[in-house]
Structure 1
Amino acid sequence: MRVVIAEDSAILREGLAQLLALRGVVVAAAVQDAAALLDAVATHRPDAAVIDIRLPPGHTDEGLRAAVTLRRDHPDTGILIFSQYVETAYADRLFGEGFAGVGYLLKERVVDIAEFTDALERVAAGGTALDPEVVGRLFKASRRAQALERLTPRERDVLALMAEGRSNRSVAAALTVTERAVEKHIAGIFTKLDLPPSDTEHRRVLAVLRYLETAGRTDA
């Protein structure tokens, strides 16, 4: 797996690059600003890009805006937002393109490099890796509140765990229920979100994106 890292802190940037390299990930480039990120992805065509939200020169949302550009120009490159902040300003464009390969993790909640690498691999393979806190904030920001209200509390719990990229077995273990119960909840989610069976689309991903596609802005 080849990745590009965009992080303004030199210590974090180099530290993350070294940790990923130790786990067999090829770090094609590690840059500090959004312009260099766009150039690096265009040059190296990585499997995924790890992007901080607040990059030079403004240290506001340059990384997130660059991620939106990459989703448009390089849809085969997975995007993993890795930040201290939950920012929903561009969620409609980042999550609402109708294809997978996106993740959003909070720095302070990642305590295991193996879990981080696993999330990065899922995103590179076209899956999702969303922190539960991020999902919660995006759900609150979503204009599709009525769709959310159609789900039972348990279905919402299942959907939040699905957003983390968990398998049915992992969801069952987290909720202390059977895999069969999880399957029933997922079937209910698909039905309420009007996601019929498809041979070409990943319904687990679309179930999450359905909520996030029109998210608005909230204070980070």
Structure 2
Amino acid sequence: MRVVIAEDLLLLREGLKRLLTELDCTVVAAVADPEALLEALDRERPDLAIVDIRLPPTYRDEGLRAAIEARRRRPGTPILILSQYIEQAYVRELLADAGGGVGYLLKDRVSDVTELLAALRTVAAGGTVLDPEVVGGLLNRLARTDALAGLTPREREVLGLMARGLSNSAIAAELVVTERAVNKYVNRIFSKLGLPPTDSASRRVVAVLRYLDAGGQSGDVRVR
């Protein structure tokens, strides 16, 4: 897997390069600012870009903006965003084109090599991955609202696992049910959300967007 990294902190950037190399990835570029990221993506056409949300000069959302611009230039460019915080509005914006191939992980998750590798593969293959902390926060908000009220508790649980990027077979293993049962839950979710039977990957992304929209007010939620 050919990867571009955009991270302004030298130690973290070098640490990611070393870790990805150990995971049999090839880091074709490692940059520190959004302009260099866009240049590297145009030049290298990697399988995946790992991007910190907060890059120079203001350290607010330059990384996210560059990621969105990269997907505008080349739709479907796989992007895995890393952040110190749960920033729900940014998650929503990243997923807005419903094209898949996107992920949002907290930087703490990088230390879990197995989980990181699974996320890299899912995003590079066109899937969607959300950090469990993001999903957990949304579940808590959903419990206090009438949003998605038509879904049963089990269907909400399945939708939350979909939001984390799990496949139907992985959801089945997580819930200790059959994959056939999960397929039924997923189809019911699509039906209740009014999503027609088109491309299933796109429907999964749209379902996750509905889930995010139902999660309450946007903003930064500090973790730890």
CA distance in 2, matches of 1:93, 1:167: 23
Q: What is residue 210 of structure 1 aligned with on the other side? A: 210
The 8 Å contact of residues 48 and 78 in structure 1, kept in 2 or not, is answered as: yes
The 8 Å contact of residues 95 and 213 in structure 1, kept in 2 or not, is answered as: no
Q: What is residue 154 of structure 2 aligned with on the other side? A: 154
Q: Which 10-residue stretch deviates more, 31-40 or 202-211? A: 202-211
CA distance in 2, matches of 1:73, 1:199: 23
The 8 Å contact of residues 47 and 124 in structure 1, kept in 2 or not, is answered as: yes
Aligned residues: CA RMSD: 2.5
The 8 Å contact of residues 147 and 193 in structure 1, kept in 2 or not, is answered as: no
CA distance in 1, matches of 2:214, 2:61: 18
Q: What is residue 113 of structure 1 aligned with on the other side? A: 113
Q: Which 10-residue stretch deviates more, 191-200 or 157-166? A: 191-200
The 8 Å contact of residues 172 and 178 in structure 1, kept in 2 or not, is answered as: yes
Q: What is residue 5 of structure 1 aligned with on the other side? A: 5
After TM superposition, the score normalised by the length of structure 2 is: 0.85
Q: 1:28 deviation in Å?
A: 0.9
Query: Could you list the runs of 5+ residues in structure 1 that have no partner in the other structure?
Result: none
Deviations 1:105-164 (A, max 9, x none): 11113432232122112111111111122234467889xx76522222211111111122
Distance 1:140 1:62, change over 3 A: farther
CA distance in 1, matches of 2:35, 2:194: 39
Deviations 1:78-128 (A, max 9, x none): 010111111233444321112111000111134322321221121111111
Q: 1:212 deviation in Å?
A: 3.7
* 1:97 is the counterpart of 2:97: yes
CA distance in 1, matches of 2:78, 2:169: 25
Q: Runs in 1 of length 4+ with deviation above 4 angstroms? A: 136-142, 213-216
Query: Could you list the runs of 5+ residues in structure 2 that have no partner in the other structure?
Result: none
What is the one-letter code of the residue matched to 2:98? Answer: G
* 1:33 is the counterpart of 2:33: yes
SS of the residue corresponding to residue 148 of structure 1 reads coil
Distance 1:140 1:96, change over 3 A: farther
